[in-house]
Structure 1
C-alpha cells in the first residue's frame, strides 16, 4: 500500500477494535477466546480490502496465499560422537514409537562401549512428549544418542504410493537418507519391527566401498519367485525390470554407502523413480530395481526373517531355494549360528500375537520399557497400525479365508484368474483394504 492508504486502513481497524475492546469482559475467557479482537481484525481487513477493490481508485493485484505449517528450524545432521560413530537411521510414526522403544532397548543391551551409536529417527510429526519417552529408553547410557528429523520438510510425501494398510508412507523416508545425512559416508538403516541380538558394530564395519547398499537376500521373496505366489516372477522381471530376480534383498536392514549413492544419483531422481512406479512392496521394490548390481549380499544373521505365520513357514519349507533353505533352517537364536538381528517382517507382529515364533525375545525387551503397559493395552484391543481388527486377522480377511480356504481349488482358481500384480488383483486389493480399515 501507499502510505496514505495504509494510514486509512489503520485508522479504520484500530478505531473499531478500540471500541470493541471496551465492551468485552474477558475475565473467564479461554486462551483462544482472548483472541477475539484478532479474529475481528481479520474480518475488518476483508471489509476494507473489499471496499478498496470496488472503489476502482487503486490498482489491485491478487496473489496466492502461502501457508507455512511447521516453521521450526532443523539443524543439519552431523555425527553425534567424535570417535567410532555408528549412525543408525530408523523410521517411525507416532503410533510406532513404542515399538521403536523396544528396538532401542535391545540396541542398548548389545551396545559396545567402544562405539557411539548415533540414532536418527526419521518421521513427519512426532510430538515432544513421545520424543521424550523415547529418549528415556537410553537415558542411562552415554554412548547412545537419539535425535529426530522431520523428513516431510525435505520431501512432499503426498504422491507416494501406499500399497497396503500394513505399510506406511514413512517407509519411503529411508530413500532420502543419503541427502539427509550429508555429513556421513555410510549408515545402518533399519525397520522398527525387529530386535537386535548382537553388537551391530560388525555390520557397520563391513567394507562396501564398491557398492551402494549391503543387505540380506529375501528368502520369502525367493519362494514367491518359485511359484508360491503366481505372477511374482513376471512382475519382478517386467515391472521392476530386474535382470536376476533372485538377487532381491530385504531392505528392512541395510548398510547404505551414502557417499557412493550421492555420486550415482540425485535425491530427486531416486524419489521420482519410486513415485512414478507403483510397486507392490513400495520402496523396497524401488531400491531393488534402482540399485540392482550395486548391492552387496550380507549373511543371513544380519536380517533373520522370522516365520511369523504358517504361510511363511510352509513356503520356506516347500518353495525356497534349497541352499537358502538349508542356511535358514540352521539359524538358531539361542546359540550356535545365531541371528544378530531378528526381523518380524510380516504379519502378525509379536506385539499383536505373543504366539509368534521367537516373540519371547521381543517381549523380554518390551517388558523393560515404559511403553510396556501401552503395548499390552493395544494387544488387548486388537489394534494393528491404528486399525481395529478381530483376532489375528481382519474381519474381511477371515471371511475371505472362510470362503476361499488355503489350498482349495477355489483359491487356486482365483489366483490364476487374478494373478498378483494384475489390474483385477490391484482392484480387489484396494477393495479389501477399504473394508479392513
Structure 2
C-alpha cells in the first residue's frame, strides 16, 4: 500500500563509494564508503561500512554488498536503494538516449545533470511511490556479445570460473529446492538486470538479505580462493547479481505479485569531486603566482620551463606555481613535485580544468598549438583569491627573475604583454592578407598594438569585468581565428594593455623568420627585438621548430642547458630520435559493470555501425518495451 502525502515514504538510496566522489545532495541520498575496514583513509562526508554490525572486511570479495549488509543491519527506512558513485538511476519520466550497453552516458554530477536525471528528493519520491521493486534495465546478453545464456556470459570473463557458478547453484538448490526451476530459467536465459542496483520496500529488502547473505556465506566457506587474483576474488559480488535475478523471478512465479519496474541507468564518466584551489598561507606581498597549462604529453617541456624559472628566481620571494591540466598522470605529478622540491621558495600545484571547459568546442588551427592554450580564460574563476597573476607558455625558458615581470604595474589595464613582432611583420606584407584579417575578423582599431600571449601579466579583476569565463569560452568556440586565444585576447583587450620590454618574450628564429618576417615590422620594433636577443630574460620557442625536435634551432643550446637537468631529459632525447612515447592501454569503463566482459566481446561479434548491431539494438528496445 502506497504511503499518503501526509505520510511520505522514508527512502534511503545508499551510494557506495571507495574514493572521494561528487554525490548529489538530498535527504534520501546516503553516501557510504565501502571497504572501510581495510581503507587507509576514511571520508568525513560519508557513512562507513565498518561501523555497527558489518562485514566491511569482506569487501574485496563482496564488493558493494558490504553497503547493502550495513543498511540491512543498521539503517531504518521504508525503501532501501543501492547505486554506485558513478552509476545512478534516472528518476525522471524522460526517455534518455542510451548507448549500446543500456546506459545513459554523461560526464559530471552537477546542478544540470542532477536536474536532468531527477537526482533529488522530490523526483526520487515520485519515481518510487507505489512500486515494490525497482531495478536497472533488463539487458539481453545475446545483443551484447552473442552470449546464448548467462552461463556463457559468465564463462566469457577470464577471471570467473564456471565451477564457482555451479557451486553456487548447488548451494542454492540444496538450501531452497523450490528455487531450482527459477535458477535454471535465469541461468539458461539471456536477460538480466546487472550492477546490483535496486530499490525495494523494507519487507522485501529484509527478506532478500536474509535469503542472500547465508547463501553467499555458505558458498565462501566451501570456496577455495587461496590463490585467486584480485578480480576472481570478487566472485561473490558477481554471483549476487545473478542471485538477485533468481530471487525476483522465484518470488514473482510463486505469487508475490510485486509491482516491479526498471529505471534507466546513468553512467557518469567523471564522478570525482570538482576541486578548488585555496590561497597560500603566506604574506601575499611576497608571493608570485605563475600559471601554466599543459597536458601529459607536454610534461617534459613544462618541467623544463618551470625549472628554468625557479633556477633564476629571487630567494626572497615565494613562487606559487599552478599547472592547469586535465590528464597529467599522478606519477608525472609526483615526479615533477619531487624534482622541484629542491626549491624551498616555491610550491607546485595542479588544478584539473576538465569540468570548467566541458561543453565547449575548443579547437586550434595550428598543429603546434594545443587546446590547453584556452585554459588561461578560466584562470579568473579558478583563482578567485588572486587579483593579478603571471601566465607563461610551456615552450619557453626563463633566464631572469619573473618576480620583476610580475611586479610590472598595470594600473587599470587588463594585460601586460610584449608586442608580437611576427604578427606586426605580417601586417606590413604587400599582400595585405594579415591586415585584411585584422580588419574583418578582429576589428582592431590599431593592429600594430597586437601582442604575443605566451607571456602575460594578467589583471584578473579587470579580466573579470570584461567577460565571464563562459563568455570567454563561448567566443573561443567561434571559428575563423588564426591564432585562437591570442587573437581573442587582442580583440577583446585592445586599449587595455601595458606593453612590456621585448626581452621578456624573445621569440626565436623559427625557420629564418627574423630576416623573412620579423624585419618587415616597424623599424623601431625590429630594433628593440634585435637588441633583446642579446640578453633575453625569456626565450620563447614559438612555432614548429622546437628544441626537443631540433637541437640546432635558434637558442637550442640554452634550452638544453636546462632540459638536460630534468628527470624527463631522456624522454626528450627520445623525441629527438623520432621515438614517440608508447601509448597506454585505453581504459574503458564497462557498461554492465566495471569488470564485465560484455563490451570486449560485443565489439568483436557485432561491430559498432554494423547492420547486425543496429538490428539487435532495435530488438533490445522492443524487449525493454521501448520504441
TM interval, shorter chain, is: 0.7 to 0.9
Map of 1:33 onto structure 2:
232
Cα shift readout 1:288-318 (whole Å, capped 9, x = no counterpart): 222222222222111111112224542223x
Equivalenced residues, count: 381
Task: State the distance in 2 between where 1:158 and 1:14 align.
Answer: 48
Map of 2:115 onto structure 1:
none
Is 1:224 aligned to 2:423, yes or no? Answer: no
Counterpart selection for 2:456 from 232, 237, 254: 254
The Cα shift of 1:375 comes to: 1.3
The Cα shift of 1:349 comes to: 0.5
> Does the CA-based 8 Å contact 1:94-1:127 persist in structure 2?
yes
The Cα shift of 1:328 comes to: 1.5
Cα shift readout 1:223-245 (whole Å, capped 9, x = no counterpart): 22233886333222222332322
Task: State the distance in 2 between where 1:312 and 1:29 align.
Answer: 66
Map of 2:396 onto structure 1:
194
> Does the CA-based 8 Å contact 2:438-2:447 persist in structure 1?
yes
Map of 2:527 onto structure 1:
326
Task: State the distance in 2 between where 1:46 and 1:87 align.
Answer: 57
Task: State the distance in 1 between where 2:545 and 2:205 align.
Answer: 64
Structure 2 gaps of 5+ residues are 1-199, 584-627
Map of 1:274 onto structure 2:
476
Is 1:147 aligned to 2:338, yes or no? Answer: no
Counterpart selection for 1:7 from 197, 206, 214: 206
Counterpart selection for 1:180 from 371, 375, 382: 382
The Cα shift of 1:35 comes to: 2.0
Cα shift readout 1:41-83 (whole Å, capped 9, x = no counterpart): 3455577789999998426473551415352563433136324
Of stretches 277-286 and 171-180 in structure 1, the one that deviates more from structure 2 is 277-286
Task: State the distance in 2 between where 1:240 and 1:46 align.
Answer: 62
Of stretches 37-46 and 200-209 in structure 1, the one that deviates more from structure 2 is 37-46
Q: 1:68 to 1:141 in 2, by over 3 A?
A: same
Cα shift readout 1:118-158 (whole Å, capped 9, x = no counterpart): 10011002122211211133222211111111111333166
Instruction: For residue 363 of structure 2, give the secondary structure of its aligned residue in structure 1.
Output: coil
The Cα shift of 1:26 comes to: 2.6
Map residues 99-114 of structure 1 onto 2, 5 A cutoff.
Answer: 99-114=301-316
Instruction: For residue 326 of structure 1, give the secondary structure of its aligned residue in structure 2.
Output: helix
Counterpart selection for 1:236 from 426, 438, 462: 438
Of stretches 267-276 and 88-97 in structure 1, the one that deviates more from structure 2 is 267-276
Counterpart selection for 2:541 from 328, 334, 344: 344
Q: 1:134 to 1:259 in 2, by over 3 A?
A: same
Task: State the distance in 2 between where 1:356 and 1:189 align.
Answer: 25
Structure 1 residue ranges, 4+ long, deviating more than 6 angstroms after superposition: 46-56
The Cα shift of 1:23 comes to: 5.8
The Cα shift of 1:113 comes to: 1.5
Map residues 9-408 of structure 1 onto 2, 5 A cutoff.
Answer: 9-10=208-209, 13-14=212-213, 17-18=216-217, 21=220, 24-42=223-241, 44=243, 57-58=258-259, 60=261, 62-63=263-264, 65-67=266-268, 69-72=270-273, 74-79=275-280, 81-82=282-283, 83-156=285-358, 159-227=361-429, 231-311=433-513, 313-317=515-519, 319-333=520-534, 338-381=535-578, 383=580
Instruction: For residue 428 of structure 2, give the secondary structure of its aligned residue in structure 1.
Output: helix
The Cα shift of 1:283 comes to: 1.6
Instruction: For residue 210 of structure 1, give the secondary structure of its aligned residue in structure 2.
Output: coil
Q: 1:194 to 1:29 in 2, by over 3 A?
A: same
RCO higher in structure (CA 8 A, sep ≥6): 1
Instruction: For residue 36 of structure 1, give the secondary structure of its aligned residue in structure 2.
Output: helix
Considering fraction of residues, name the structure with more helix.
1
- So what's the TM-score if we normalise by structure 1? 0.78
> Does the CA-based 8 Å contact 2:277-2:351 persist in structure 1?
no
Q: 1:127 to 1:379 in 2, by over 3 A?
A: same
> Does the CA-based 8 Å contact 1:352-1:382 persist in structure 2?
no
- So what's the TM-score if we normalise by structure 2? 0.56
> Does the CA-based 8 Å contact 1:352-1:383 persist in structure 2?
no
Task: State the distance in 1 between where 2:249 and 2:494 align.
Answer: 60
Provide the alpha-carbon RMSD of the alignment: 2.9
Q: 1:289 to 1:53 in 2, by over 3 A?
A: farther
Of stretches 220-229 and 319-328 in structure 1, the one that deviates more from structure 2 is 220-229
Considering fraction of residues, name the structure with more strand.
2
Map of 1:405 onto structure 2:
none
Instruction: For residue 357 of structure 2, give the secondary structure of its aligned residue in structure 1.
Output: coil
Q: 1:274 to 1:310 in 2, by over 3 A?
A: same
